[in-house]
Homo-oligomer: A and B are copies of this chain.
Amino acid sequence: MKLLITGGAGFIGARLARTLLARGELAGRAIERLVLADLVAAPDDLRADPRVQVRVGTVLELAEQLNGERFDGVFHLASAVSSECEADFELGLRSNLDSTRALLDALRAAGNAPRLVFSSSVAVFGSDPALPLPAVVRDDTLPTPQSSYGVQKFICEQLVADYTRKGFIDGRVARLMTVSVRPGRPNGAASSFLSGIIREPLAGQEAVCPVSPDTEVALASPANTIAGLIAVFEASREAFGGRTALNLPALTVRVQDMLDALESVGGSQARSLVRFVPDDTIARIVGSWPARFESPRGERLGLKADTDFRSIVEQYLRDFPAAVRPA
């Protein structure tokens, strides 16, 4: 089968590509071709695989060039991130809404109704003054997004549902949770510290935690996020159930629990590298995110949240041993 991953050079996209190449098959069919499309070329290890083809450019450019090209499956992960969309309104609409629509139209034009997984986000949930977010987010909780990024993701959810209803694609939408522990450098995202307070101390560096230790957050490990995307792709239409977006499973932890896990893995020395420097802006943003989920739809698909945060830290150690400085 021939697959396309947009955002295929990003952290999640490249990891999904590695997992798929290692499996060799998806939904019972051998993977013969894996097209990784992104603004930059995918990492070298992926490009070395003869099944991989790299395409560099925007999703709008990609869609324009498809010209009836058929894929058996698509993971549409490419997206402008939330801080970009908030800073540049047009960029968000173009990179998220227009791009997704152009991709869906190109897939429709190919005429083979390919299976497609679209990565939406927990950022569709926010607290509207008229309709505060409930304490527990369920499968039928109304998203009232409070950011352009969340609005654009939620709009794309609707497009994927309707292109699917019309039979143009076989689309499924998975809402990703905050992924932790991410490798690499801190970024401008409000959620950046949720990886940083683990990653930096394990590398022997200081990290700043801008929220109180009893703040609750909903997280998923990189491996569990990938497993969720694959399970949603492989589900039968009946098992997925309907065309409404599905919340991937989330582990609810307090920041305190995260630091306990850090200490149990990296020692008290690692933990001592985390300083609490309250930042009201970040605390307000993080506090507006849902922290508790009940997701029977995901459970029926066999999706499970990570069991505990310690196992997530251990996953990071296994995946990125070079990023860790021995205590």
Q: Which residues of A contact B (CB under 8 A)?
A: 89, 128-131, 139-146, 148, 151, 154-155, 158-159, 161-162, 165-166, 240-244, 246, 297
Known: A129-B242, A131-B242, A297-B130. A151 touches B162 (CB 8 A): yes
Other than the given A142-B244, A155-B155, 18 more pairs (CB < 8 A) read A89-B166, A128-B242, A128-B243, A129-B241, A130-B246, A131-B140, A131-B242, A131-B244, A140-B142, A141-B142, A144-B243, A144-B244, A145-B162, A148-B162, A151-B158, A151-B159, A151-B162, A155-B159
Of A130, A131, A139, the most chain B CB neighbours within 10 A belong to: A130
Q: A240 touches which one: B130, B158, B242 (CB < 8 A)?
A: B130
Q: Which B residues are CB-close (under 8 A) to A144? A: 161, 242-244
A182–B148 alpha-carbon span in the complex (Å): 38
A244–B130 alpha-carbon span in the complex (Å): 7
- Interchain Cβ contacts under 8 Å between A and B, 13 examples: A128-B244, A129-B241, A129-B242, A131-B139, A131-B140, A131-B242, A140-B141, A141-B142, A142-B143, A145-B161, A148-B166, A151-B161, A155-B159
Q: Which B residues are CB-close (under 8 A) to A131? A: 139-140, 242, 244
Q: Which B residues are CB-close (under 8 A) to A130? A: 139, 240-244, 246, 297
Q: Which B residues are CB-close (under 8 A) to A139? A: 130-131
**Smallest Cβ distance from A235 to chain B, in angstroms?**
11
A145–B145 alpha-carbon span in the complex (Å): 18
**Smallest Cβ distance from A247 to chain B, in angstroms?**
12
A159–B89 alpha-carbon span in the complex (Å): 12
A89–B104 alpha-carbon span in the complex (Å): 13
Q: Which B residues are CB-close (under 8 A) to A89? A: 166
A131–B141 alpha-carbon span in the complex (Å): 11
A143–B245 alpha-carbon span in the complex (Å): 12
Q: Which B residues are CB-close (under 8 A) to A141? A: 140, 142
A30–B131 alpha-carbon span in the complex (Å): 33
A148–B144 alpha-carbon span in the complex (Å): 21
